[in-house]
Chain A
Amino acid sequence: MQIDFLRFTPDKEFLKCLGFENAVVFAENGDLEGYENHSYVKGEIIRPENPEDLRKKLRKVSRKSVVGVESNSISINREAVTRRRVDVILDSVGRRIDYVTVKLAAEKDVVIEVCLSKFLLTKGARRMRLLRETEELLRLIKKFDTPFVITSGASNIYEIRSARQLRDFFSFLGAEIKKAEKHAEILFRKFADANFIMNGLEIEERP
């Protein structure tokens, strides 16, 4: 099952045509068009300015949504990985992650998102730097077996790409696609499927 992480609510049929069975839609404080009525799994973005802010916002988060932290600061991302309630470290153009964070994420079972949209929004030397950084990040992820997902990270219809395209692009950068798909599915099922408890533990019948 292919899952995408998005920042907007597209038509479900359209997503299916692109090869995605479902998606997790992220919004900050629930302010997104059509956020209430869609049938996707809800996610909440937290954009903290400092660690205190992170802690405050984490307290307000709903139990049923996927929690994603988006920040450009290395130290905030590192702090976010240690928080139990955080599920994903979201990707953006200016995101910086260091070696320690990747290692911690593997131990704490926090997913690192690697998105395509940051490459669409940059050009030239900036994009070159992003490409090399992403290659290095994927190398570390492979080394530590950190859970990660490959997504389009789209905020509008023009940033979305088909599942096949994502797979091909990131395998070129050296990502282990099968693992990423497995982690996306696990994260999705944790929130969408009431009978899925963890990887390897499912309920078949209830009393």
Chain B
Amino acid sequence: MKSMKPEYILAHEWIGLEVEVVYSPNQYEVGLKGIVINETMNTLTLRTEEGYKIVAKRGRTFKVRFKGYVLRVKGDLIAFRPEERIKRGLMLIKKAKGWW
């Protein structure tokens, strides 16, 4: 199935996925781990052990578990409204993978 490939994370639904912040310009955000509860154009809401935390997408790097893979994703690549991220994500994947 095409969507088993790891790069499809960019177009996939993030709500429900386990995510950790591995880099952020805000040092207090680094290490935040949780499940994505909500997604907006610029933010992800995580349910962590300490409660709900809203983290911006741009400028941060996330570690996410997806289809058995653990991926490092830069937030800038997913900084779109969830509805349009499906299309944008596919475009980014097409651009990176060339014609294969």
Direct contact of A and B (CB under 8 A): yes
Residues of A within 8 A of B (CB): 63, 84-85, 109, 190, 197-207
Decide if B28 is an interface residue (CB 8 Å cutoff). Answer: no
- A198, B70: Cβ atoms closer than 8 Å: no
Q: Which of B61, B70, B77, B96 contacts A205 (CB 8 A)?
A: B70
A contact residues around B6 at 8 Å (CB): 197, 203
- A203, B71: Cβ atoms closer than 8 Å: yes
Q: Which of A85, A109, A190, A207 contacts B68 (CB 8 A)?
A: A207
The B contact surface, by secondary structure, is mixed
Decide if B74 is an interface residue (CB 8 Å cutoff). Answer: yes
- A205, B69: Cβ atoms closer than 8 Å: yes
Decide if B92 is an interface residue (CB 8 Å cutoff). Answer: yes
Q: Which of B33-68 contact A (CB under 8 A)?
A: 61, 63, 67-68
Decide if B95 is an interface residue (CB 8 Å cutoff). Answer: yes
A contact residues around B96 at 8 Å (CB): 190, 197-198, 201
A contact residues around B7 at 8 Å (CB): 197-198, 201
B contact residues around A207 at 8 Å (CB): 67-69
29 pairs across A/B with beta carbons < 8 Å? A85-B98, A85-B99, A190-B96, A197-B6, A197-B96, A197-B97, A198-B77, A198-B95, A199-B74, A200-B61, A200-B73, A200-B74, A200-B76, A201-B7, A201-B10, A201-B71, A201-B72, A201-B73, A201-B74, A201-B96, A202-B71, A203-B6, A203-B69, A203-B70, A204-B63, A204-B70, A206-B69, A207-B68, A207-B69
A contact residues around B63 at 8 Å (CB): 204
A199 to B7, CA, bound (A): 12
Find the B residue at minimum CB distance from A197: B7
Tell me, rounded to whole Å, the shortest Cβ–Cβ distance linking A140 to chain B.
22
A contact residues around B92 at 8 Å (CB): 198
A203 to B72, CA, bound (A): 6
B contact residues around A198 at 8 Å (CB): 7, 77, 92, 95-96
A190 to B10, CA, bound (A): 17
Decide if B19 is an interface residue (CB 8 Å cutoff). Answer: no
A207 to B97, CA, bound (A): 21
B contact residues around A203 at 8 Å (CB): 6, 69-72
A94 to B86, CA, bound (A): 44
Further contacts, 4 of them, CB under 8 A, given A201-B9, A201-B10, A207-B67: A190-B96, A197-B7, A200-B61, A203-B6
B contact residues around A205 at 8 Å (CB): 69-70
- B67, A201: Cβ atoms closer than 8 Å: no
A84 to B91, CA, bound (A): 13
